[in-house]
Amino acid sequence: MRQTYGKQLPAMTLSGLAGKLIVIEGTDGAGRTTQINQLKQWLEELGHAVLDTGMTRSRLAGEGIHRAKEGNNLGHVTQSLFYATDFIDRLENEIIPALRAGFIVLTDRYIYSLMARATVRGMDPSWLRSIYSVALRPDAIFYLRIGLDQLLPRVVFSRGFNYWESGMDLFPGHDMYDSFCMYQTALLAEFDRLSEEYHFETIDASADAETVCKHLKARILEALGPPAPQAVALPIYLDLMETLDERLAGILTPGRDIAEEQPPQDMPVALHAPIAQPLRETGLL
């Protein structure tokens, strides 16, 4: 059965979370977004239902965080807790229901980025571990590792310096370049510590995107294990995948526990839950 890092939230049932939770970690500019887009398409072609999620995308706190970051008065404790709120909202309302419905959840960063950012801002590491003790242990954590020297041109030459990516809230009075170097160096060091503690699978992200993707695919196939009989791609299922994405929002309504609704007895064997249920939810069955 799936486990958390220690504590369980009220009403959180850990049994029946049939899907896979795959984390892609890495600092800004490591190429996470590019990889996730490709992986999602690839996994869907293989016949898996995929949910991708990432920081500040929660319905509850996403917008609030963006608004708070527009000003210059977001304290470090407040910032850490605002991100924790966003994370837990997505954990309860997106990640867990999707896992219950048998999806592969591809998450663009997880608790590790949140802890790294908060730690370099002076938050107590044991405080952060207590807060995130309610997070689910993923099936695989891939860390796209890159050095500062390779990171600099990627970030700076493509989109210029950004206040938060440069950690300007930590190093006011420095210029963006110096601040960027100090901040990202601190983050990379923290990621190395986390990598040992949480057993990241490190991928050399300084290679070209195609090579990185090839490595990731091989490792993800290992993490997924042999396909279950009901996960073998059915022609009808592949057709449905195209429209499934648009309907995801409809399935993953907060508080819905898809697994607890029993599938009807006359369901064809090949379309057994967990795949059948989300499809019925969308009205496609």
Task: Give yes or no for a contact between 56 and 86, defined as CB atoms under 8 angstroms apart.
Answer: yes
Contacts of 226 (CB under 8 A, 6+ apart): none
Distances (CA, A) of 230 to 223, 242, 254: 18, 19, 27
Query: Which part of the chain contacts other proteins (CB under 8 A), choosing from 32-40, 81-89, 208-216, 232-240?
Result: 81-89
CB of 270 to other proteins, least distance (A): 35
Cis-peptide into 274, omega within 30 deg: yes
Query: Which part of the chain contacts other proteins (CB under 8 A), choosing from 46-54, 139-147, 230-238, 258-266?
Result: 139-147
What tokens appear for 185 in the block? 């160096």
CB of 240 to other proteins, least distance (A): 29
Residue 149 as a binder of other proteins (CB under 8 A): the answer is: yes
What tokens appear for 58 in the block? 């929660």
Q: Which residues, 192 to 231, sit near other proteins by CB under 8 A?
A: 192, 202, 204, 206
Residue 64 as a binder of other proteins (CB under 8 A): the answer is: yes
d(CA 244, CA 138): 24
Residue 112 as a binder of other proteins (CB under 8 A): the answer is: no
d(CA 40, CA 44): 6
Looking at the Cβ atoms of 197 and 239, the one nearer to other proteins is 197
Distances (CA, A) of 147 to 15, 118, 250: 40, 20, 41
Q: Which residues, 242 to 261, sit near other proteins by CB under 8 A?
A: 254-255
Residue 67 as a binder of other proteins (CB under 8 A): the answer is: yes
What tokens appear for 157 in the block? 């030459």
CB of 171 to other proteins, least distance (A): 7
Looking at the Cβ atoms of 54 and 64, the one nearer to other proteins is 64
* Spatial CA neighbour of 15 closest among 259, 276, 281, 280: 259
Under rule CB under 8 A, how many of the chain's residues touch other proteins?
56
Q: Which residues, 89 to 108, sit near other proteins by CB under 8 A?
A: 89, 92-93
> Which of 14, 37, 63, 268 contacts other proteins by CB under 8 A?
63
Task: Give yes or no for a contact between 106 and 34, defined as CB atoms under 8 angstroms apart.
Answer: no
> Which of 2, 40, 57, 76 contacts other proteins by CB under 8 A?
76
d(CA 211, CA 251): 35
Residue 23 as a binder of other proteins (CB under 8 A): the answer is: no
d(CA 54, CA 144): 15
> Which of 14, 34, 77, 238 contacts other proteins by CB under 8 A?
77
CB of 227 to other proteins, least distance (A): 32
> Which of 72, 73, 158, 265 contacts other proteins by CB under 8 A?
73
Enumerate binding residues for other proteins (CB under 8 A). 7-11, 59-61, 63-64, 67-68, 71, 73-78, 80-82, 84-85, 88-89, 92-93, 122-124, 127, 130-131, 133-134, 145-149, 170-171, 174, 181-182, 185-186, 188-189, 192, 202, 204, 206, 254-255
